[in-house]
Amino acid sequence: QRIPVICVDGPTASGKGTLASEIADRLGYHLLDSGALYRLVGLAADKKGLSTDDQTLKEPAQARRLGELAAAMNVRFEGHQTYLDGQDVSDALRTESAGMAASRVSAIPQVRAALLQLQHGFRRLPGLVADGRDMGTVIFPGAPLKVFLTASAEQRAQRRYKQLISKGNAANIDSLLADLVARDLRDSSRTHAPLKPAEDALQLDNSALDVEQSVKQVLGWWQSQS
Extract the annotated binding site for ATP.
Answer: 10-18
Beta carbon nearer to ligand C5P, 112 or 222? 112
Q: Cα dihedral sign for 212, 214, 215, 221?
A: positive
CB of 58: closest distance to ligand C5P in angstroms? 17
Among 102, 149, 153, 218, the residue binding ligand C5P under the rule CB under 6 A is 102
Query: Is residue 39 a contact residue for ligand C5P (CB under 6 A)?
Result: yes
Beta bridge partners of 135: none
Query: Is residue 103 a contact residue for ligand C5P (CB under 6 A)?
Result: yes
Beta carbon nearer to ligand C5P, 43 or 102? 102
C-beta of residue 29 within 8 angstroms of C-beta of residue 128: yes
Could you give the CA distance from residue 163 to residue 151 in angstroms, rounded to a whole number? Answer: 16
Among 52, 62, 106, 137, the residue binding ligand C5P under the rule CB under 6 A is 106
Residue 150: strand, helix, or coil: strand
Could you give the CA distance from residue 208 to residue 68 in angstroms, rounded to a whole number? Answer: 43
Query: Is residue 136 a contact residue for ligand C5P (CB under 6 A)?
Result: no
Query: Is residue 160 a contact residue for ligand C5P (CB under 6 A)?
Result: no
Among 12, 62, 137, 150, the residue binding ligand C5P under the rule CB under 6 A is 12
Beta carbon nearer to ligand C5P, 102 or 151? 102
Q: How many residues bind ligand C5P (CB under 6 A)?
A: 14
Query: Is residue 134 a contact residue for ligand C5P (CB under 6 A)?
Result: yes
Annotated binding site: which residue ranges?
Answer: 10-18
Please give the angle made by the CA atoms of 41, 44 and 45, to the nearest 5 degrees: 85
C-beta of residue 34 within 8 angstroms of C-beta of residue 130: yes
> What Rg do the C-alpha atoms of the chain give, in angstroms?
17
CB of 124: closest distance to ligand C5P in angstroms? 18
Query: Is residue 133 a contact residue for ligand C5P (CB under 6 A)?
Result: yes
Could you give the CA distance from residue 34 to residue 114 in angstroms, rounded to a whole number? Answer: 13
Could you give the CA distance from residue 73 to residue 113 in angstroms, rounded to a whole number? Answer: 13
Could you give the CA distance from residue 144 to residue 73 in angstroms, rounded to a whole number? Answer: 30
Query: Is residue 146 a contact residue for ligand C5P (CB under 6 A)?
Result: no
Which residue's beta carbon is nearest to the bound ligand C5P? 35
Among 5, 8, 19, 35, the residue binding ligand C5P under the rule CB under 6 A is 35
Could you give the CA distance from residue 156 to residue 150 in angstroms, rounded to a whole number? Answer: 9
Binding site for ligand C5P (CB under 6 A): 12, 34-35, 38-39, 99, 102-103, 106, 132-134, 183, 187
